Amino acid sequence: MDADYSRETGRVLGIYASILGTVALAVGLLEIFGGWGGVIPEDLFGGLVLMVTAAAYLLGVKGAISGRYEGLSFIMGGLFLTAVFGVLYLLTAGAEALMYLLGEVESFPGIFDLRPEVWILLISLPLARRARKLLEGMAW
């Protein structure tokens, strides 16, 4: 089968997506089954969202490694979910910081109070940039 883009590029995308998918799956399971200390909170629905995101990443790995756009579409879906929920939790953290500035809460939310979804968003940015380069010349 012919590749839609370079297999070397697909290999890099596939490896990065498999790492992101594995991290999202592990964090999602930890969120579902009670969290981990103060770093990963217990959150059933957040954990389920992370598991769906992980599934999108992991389903795209095989196609991406073979250089097919079908794999890239799953990776883009995972990136979209990561962006939506990462930005959502960033906005929540911003609202908490605003509450501190208004005097409604006594402690300022620190950088370590950010949810794991935000950290996953940050580590997904290089993959998003690489995938975006592949989609530049594509006709929609």
Residue 13 is predicted with a pLDDT of 95
Residue 105 is predicted with a pLDDT of 83
Q: For residues 40 and 29, is the Cβ–Cβ distance under 8 A?
A: no
Beta-bridge partners for 40? 36
Q: How far apart are CA 85 and CA 79, in angstroms?
A: 10
Does the pTM surpass 0.85? The reply is yes
Residue 97 is predicted with a pLDDT of 87
Tens place of pLDDT for every residue, the chain, 140 residues?
678 888 899 999 999 999 999 999 999 999 999 988 888 999 999 999 999 999 999 999 999 999 998 999 999 999 999 999 999 999 998 898 899 899 888 887 777 678 999 999 999 999 999 998 888 877 76
Beta-bridge partners for 36? 40
Q: For residues 69 and 4, is the Cβ–Cβ distance under 8 A?
A: yes
Supply the DSSP string of 73-125, one letter for each residue. Answer: HHHHHHHHHHHHHHHHHHHHHHHHHHHHHTTSSSS---GGGS-HHHHHHHHHH
Residue 1 is predicted with a pLDDT of 64
